Structure 1
Amino acid sequence: MSEQLPSGGIELSPDEIEALQARWSSCWTPSEVAQQLAGISTPWYVAAGWALDLFRGRQTRAHGDIEIAIPAASFPEIRYRFPGHVFDATGSGRIWEDVTPEVLAAVHQTWLRDPDTGNYLLDVFREPHDGDTWICRRDERIRLPYSDIILRTQDGIPYLAPELVLLFKAKHVRGKDQSDFDATVPHMTLAQRETLTELLARVHPGHPWSAGL
């Protein structure tokens, strides 16, 4: 993805960014997303906080939105699944409505909007990849087959492996991120904890979470 943002878009003030949260009040659950994407050929997975709840087997906290991730090149397949809806892109405090290919090439985060209500239903991350190999957008040296990073619930909902979810959460460590770390680590296998330790050392050297692993 290009680091230079495209022209246009709407610059959002902090108050406007906060107000957007209300437009996520009717976002889907992981089960509803899985129903929408049933039978799709591209790999996809639930990401972020919801992924950790799927890993632990129950919802442990409220979620303000729901994020999934897909290979960037597969976005058209996702887009065609939602006729009558609109995709907006967001990044660096800006939002581009009814996203164009130019914007898609520059940012990775895309919000599915119901044009009738203005509400957002789903956040789609378009991730870098090399064919069937996932590339970590925080460190492109980290490359793994999709088959290694996607786990599934008993009813088949795909979600990102917890060690990778926590790697992304380690960048900012907001209150909910710390809570997610504390609640998730006891459920992780030794191999998962060792992998997270190695990834933190590479991406965030000296991170305080390493001591808790």
Structure 2
Amino acid sequence: MPERPEDVVAVFAKADFPWWIAGGYAIELAAGRELRPHGDLDVLVLRRDQDLVRDLMADWDLYVADPPGQGKLRPWRPGEVLQPPLHDIWCRRTPEAPWSVQLMLDEAEGTWWVSRRAPEIRRPIGRLGRTSATGIPYLAPEVQLFYKAKATWEKDEIDFEAVLPLLNAPARAWLADSIKVIAPNHPWLRRLLPVSRT
């Protein structure tokens, strides 16, 4: 049962580190409208800020996916520093409550975000996200679509169609260049790259 972005803002109100709503909700914040149902709410933070996140969510029940992608969770122990490849944390308000937030840790070097999937893909942290009209930070749509491009589902196609018209030329170019690194034959590339004139 996912939290709403507004609820997460209340949780992170005292955060003195960058964070962004991610996943399908980030796409909706960019589009300015609801697009589809959501199974979870994703929040991206930088790995270097994980101790600050842990303190902020000290009253929550936090579990880390270990190993990633295998469907196995274990408690995130207080004081434990999560190292790569661990990056996925499931959160619920109490042990009896349903899972409601999924924290994702991503890498950074100095003032640059570094993709954990391909370290050559980088972006200034200051340009990683945007802020909604109501003050909610969210991942820029081209960054979120890059995450979704690894293995696309029907929901990802819905998200792509919704924000493609909103991407300016630099955003499209960045997304296309980034997708080519991880999936050089991805069908989205035909929609992102300009048609060559002969």
Query: Is TM (by shorter chain) over 0.5?
Result: yes
Equivalent residue in structure 2 for 1:94, among 71, 75, 78: 71
Structural mapping, 1:27-38, within 5 Å: 27-38=2-13
Matched residue, 2:196: none
Matched residue, 1:77: 52
Q: Does 1:114 align with 2:93?
A: yes
Equivalent residue in structure 2 for 1:189, among 142, 164, 168: 168
Root-mean-square deviation over aligned CA pairs: 1.7
Matched residue, 2:19: 44
Aligned residues: 188
The whole-number CA distance in structure 2 between the counterparts of 1:49 and 1:176 is 8
Amino acid at match of 2:143: L
> How far did 1:103 drift?
7.9
The whole-number CA distance in structure 1 between the counterparts of 2:58 and 2:127 is 32
Q: Does 1:104 align with 2:82?
A: yes
Amino acid at match of 1:155: T
Matched residue, 2:102: 123
The whole-number CA distance in structure 1 between the counterparts of 2:141 and 2:75 is 32
What TM-score, normalized to structure 2?
Answer: 0.88
Is the contact between residue 167 and residue 196 of structure 1 (CA under 8 Å) also seen in structure 2?
yes
> How far did 1:84 drift?
2.4
The whole-number CA distance in structure 2 between the counterparts of 1:114 and 1:39 is 17
Matched residue, 2:40: 65
> How far did 1:212 drift?
1.1
Q: Does 1:180 align with 2:155?
A: no
Relative to total residues, which structure has the larger helix share, 1 or 2? 1
> How far did 1:192 drift?
1.4
Where has structure 1 moved over 3 Å in runs of 4 or more?
100-103
> How far did 1:102 drift?
6.4
Is the contact between residue 20 and residue 44 of structure 2 (CA under 8 Å) also seen in structure 1?
yes
Amino acid at match of 1:97: R
Please list every run of 5 or more consecutive structure 1 residues that lacks an aligned counterpart in the other structure: 1-24
What TM-score, normalized to structure 1?
Answer: 0.82
The whole-number CA distance in structure 2 between the counterparts of 1:162 and 1:47 is 9
Matched residue, 1:20: none
